[in-house]
Amino acid sequence: MTAPAPIPARVPAPVGLLAELTHRCPLQCPYCSNPLELERQASELSTAQWINVLDQAADLGVLQLHLSGGEPTARRDLEQLVAHAAKRQLYSNLITSGYGVTRDRLAALTASGLDHLQISIQDSDPVNADRIAGVPGAHARKVALAGFARALDLALTINAPIHRQNVDNLAAIIEFAVSLGARRVEVAHVQYYGWGLANRAALLPTRQQVVQSIDVVAKARHQYKGVVTFDFVAPDYYAKRPKPCMGGWGRGIINVTPSGKVLPCHAAQSIPALKFDSVTDRPLRDIWANSEAFNAYRGTAWMKEPCRSCEFKEADWGGCRCQALALTGDAANADPMCAKSPSHGEIAKLALVESTAADPPALIYRTPASAAGARSPTG
């Protein structure tokens, strides 16, 4: 490796590292944020390589470590990685499907220094939850894991991805999440990248359903004020302003894939013009500060109109690059979720047609086999 170049003053320090430890997962959720092309176990970084990544991240100023996947507990060395994160004073958050995590495993992870647990749920109704996860019995295992977390007094967030096939049950889902002991509940409408984009026509809720979901969350916030914190992520197909995806490209988050590729966001590899460096070839600090991929859409210099002259350009950073590419064909275009985008009207029509279709397509479950047949719509 060559010596890293210094970090230019214009480059902010990263806050969070999303470590995709593996793409292996026992569940098959059709909105998974992983790319359609899943990385194989044989290409995964070794324990020593991940520990080196954690060291580099801590040296770079990262404070929060999100241990993700796939299913991160599929890695047998997870306790070692958690212990090293604790040693480097990284706040560790385990993002898990909850499938296959025993009481003893969670106790071992907690003893290693795990700070926080996040379990995703598919519904409060076990039958629909298992149908969406694609695996019978998954729901019951999540309930059991939440119980283990309560017994260990481990901070717990319940993440509930919301879409057309569970949104009408949102009030019950929130009650269920609270009953599991969550002190933070994320009601996150599915974002349509990767598997979610491939399944958009089956998952996109109607505008009316989104409006109702906002109302349900507002009532829950009032009911549980001071007890439970609620995060709400809207599906931006009905928005007028785009979200500042990842808080802005290359502004705070580093995503490392199982094989060590370093990405500005989990979906960045959908932008074929970009080249992504690996921690096996280049220091993390140098990738963050100086790599082509991180600098491609960092700041505002890359922007075209209408973003370039927009008063909100340093608030939403032009929205989402991956979405701009997927829906307009150019990652440097304004995110079409923005009302100023020339493509915005088409998106509104598309959302109306897909969300109200009488005969939506069957779900494409996230499996290595189905990846070949999954095609993302382009508009």
Residues that bind ligand FES (CB under 6 A): 193, 245-246, 249, 265, 267-268, 320-323
Comparison of 145 and 265: residue with beta carbon closer to ligand FES? 265
Q: How far is the CB of 12 from ligand FES (least distance, A)?
A: 16
In the chain, at which residue ranges do the beta strands (DSSP E only) sit? 16-20, 64-68, 91-96, 116-120, 155-162, 184-189, 229-233, 253-256, 262-263
Torsional sign, CA 324, 210, 244, 292: negative
Q: How far is the CB of 253 from ligand FES (least distance, A)?
A: 10
Q: How far is the CB of 249 from ligand FES (least distance, A)?
A: 6
Render 184-209 in DSSP notation, one character per residue.
EEEEEEPP-SHHHHHTHHHHPPPHHH
Q: How far is the CB of 367 from ligand FES (least distance, A)?
A: 22
* Closest to 154 in 3D by CA, of 184, 188, 174: 184
Task: Find where tokens 């070692």 sit.
Answer: 80
Within a 10 A sphere around the Cβ of 297, how many other Cβ atoms?
25
Strand order in 91-96's β-sheet?
Answer: 229-233, 184-189, 155-162, 116-120, 91-96, 64-68, 16-20, 253-256, 262-263
State the Rg of the chain over Cα: 20
Task: Find where tokens 């593996």 sit.
Answer: 22
- Measured in residues, the chain has a length of 379
Q: How far is the CB of 291 from ligand FES (least distance, A)?
A: 16
Comparison of 196 and 283: residue with beta carbon closer to ligand FES? 196
Comparison of 326 and 374: residue with beta carbon closer to ligand FES? 326
Comparison of 124 and 257: residue with beta carbon closer to ligand FES? 257
Comparison of 116 and 321: residue with beta carbon closer to ligand FES? 321
Q: How far is the CB of 79 from ligand FES (least distance, A)?
A: 31
Comparison of 30 and 98: residue with beta carbon closer to ligand FES? 30
